[in-house]
Each structure stands twice: as structure tokens, then as C-alpha cells.
């Protein structure tokens, strides 16, 4: 009987933590329209993390860390954002940057099983981003072609993804 009351007390504490977390989450909704920084997940041809930081109202830096083919890659992009379709919360953006990545050749479809691949290259990006007014969340979809200059060189046109970020 004593364990029942302890468990009941723990559930109540979990509920309080959940309620405070939700309240904290919605406390920032005034920043949802024009956010300064957003951190979230990215999924597409690679899966990982996206961090976007606005330097002013129209220019941002975005860092992308993702995994693909059991390897890792990191990229940094300079982006320019403009209103899309006369909608305040919808923006289209474009930009350029660079990336670096590392793979074991056994895990890539283009590998020759002779060791590891390290790549360095340049990226472009073209996308749409929507910032929710009611909650501090942004969602974006983009196409991110890449040209590898070093390592496994060549054009990769299959980059892109969907990102969901918490904004503040």
C-alpha cells in the first residue's frame, strides 16, 4: 500500500514537470514570427540536426550535421530569406556554403571497399520556410545540391530535406 502512494506522488511530479515544460514552450510564442535562432531535426536524404541563426531580418547562417550511409557530414550555409506569396510567415530562401564528410567505403553504394572517404565541397540551397504564429516552431523544406571538390568528387543533386526547429 505504501508503494501505491509513492508511485502516485511520482506521477504527480511528472505531471507538474510536463505542465511547466508546456508552459515554457508556449511562453515564447511572441518570438515565433521573427525568430533569432532555431534548433531542430532534419530528415531527408540525410538525417540529423539543423541550427539556424539570423544575423538580421533577411540573412541567416545554418549549420547542418547529418548522417548518411553510416557516415557523418557537417555543413555551413549563408542564406538570404524573402517573403513568399505575400504571406508574412512564409519565406523562401537561397544561399551557398560548404561541407565536409567522412564515410567508411564499405557503407556507401559508391565505395570500392578500400578504406575511408573524406570529402570537402560546396553547397547550394533553395527552400521554403513557414514560421508558426501560435507556437515557436518553424518548418522548412529545401533542395541542397552539392559539388564535392576533394575526396569522392562530383556533383550530388540528391541533397535536401525537411527541418522542424524550435525557435527563440
148-157 pLDDT, tens per residue?
998 777 898 8
3-state class (DSSP) for residue 15: helix
Domain housing 17: 1-28
Q: What is the pLDDT of residues 35-51, one digit of tens each?
A: 899 999 999 888 999 99
Rounded to an integer, the average pLDDT of 125-131 is 96
State the total domains in the chain: 2
Phi, psi for residue 114 in degrees, rounded to 5: -110, 5
Handedness of CA 55, 147, 69, 142 (dihedral sign): positive
Closest CA to 78 of 55, 110, 100, 107: 55
23 lies in the same domain as 55: no
110 lies in the same domain as 56: yes
| Residue 79 CB neighbour total at 10 angstroms | 23
Q: Whole-model pTM?
A: 0.76
Type and span of the H or E element at 122: strand 116-131
Closest CA to 138 of 75, 93, 76, 78: 93
125 confidence band (pLDDT: 50, 70, 90): very high
Q: How far is CA 19 from the centre of its chain?
A: 26
- Give me the DSSP letters along 34-60: S-SEEEEEEEESSEEEEEEEESSSSEE
Q: What is the pLDDT of residues 73-85, one digit of tens each?
A: 999 999 999 999 9
64 lies in the same domain as 137: yes
Examine the pLDDT at 123 and tell me if it is beyond 80: yes
40 lies in the same domain as 120: yes
Query: What is the C-alpha separation between 63 and 13, in angstroms, rounded?
Result: 36
145 exposed, middle or buried (CB, 10 Å; 0-12, 13-18, 19+)? middle
Contact 118, 127 (CB under 8 A): no
113 confidence band (pLDDT: 50, 70, 90): low
23 lies in the same domain as 45: no
69 dihedral zone (left: phi>0; alpha: psi -120 to 50; beta): left
54 lies in the same domain as 5: no
Amino acid at each position: 500500500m505504501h508503494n501505491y502512494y509513492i508511485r502516485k506522488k511520482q506521477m504527480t511530479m511528472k505531471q507538474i514537470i510536463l505542465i511547466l515544460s508546456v508552459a515554457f514552450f508556449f511562453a515564447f510564442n511572441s518570438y515565433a514570427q521573427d525568430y533569432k535562432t532555431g534548433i531542430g531535426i532534419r530528415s531527408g536524404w540525410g538525417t540529423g540536426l539543423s541550427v539556424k541563426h539570423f544575423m538580421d531580418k533577411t540573412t541567416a547562417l545554418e549549420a547542418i550535421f547529418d548522417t548518411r550511409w553510416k557516415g557523418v557530414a557537417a555543413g555551413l550555409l549563408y542564406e538570404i530569406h524573402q517573403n513568399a506569396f505575400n504571406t508574412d510567415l512564409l519565406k523562401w530562401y537561397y544561399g551557398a556554403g560548404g561541407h565536409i564528410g567522412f564515410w567508411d567505403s564499405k557503407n556507401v553504394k559508391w565505395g570500392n571497399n578500400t578504406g575511408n572517404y573524406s570529402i570537402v565541397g560546396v553547397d547550394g540551397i533553395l527552400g521554403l520556410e513557414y514560421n508558426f504564429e501560435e507556437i515557436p516552431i518553424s518548418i522548412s523544406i529545401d533542395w541542397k545540391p552539392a559539388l564535392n571538390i576533394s575526396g569522392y568528387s562530383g556533383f550530388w543533386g540528391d541533397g535536401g530535406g525537411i527541418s522542424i526547429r524550435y525557435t527563440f
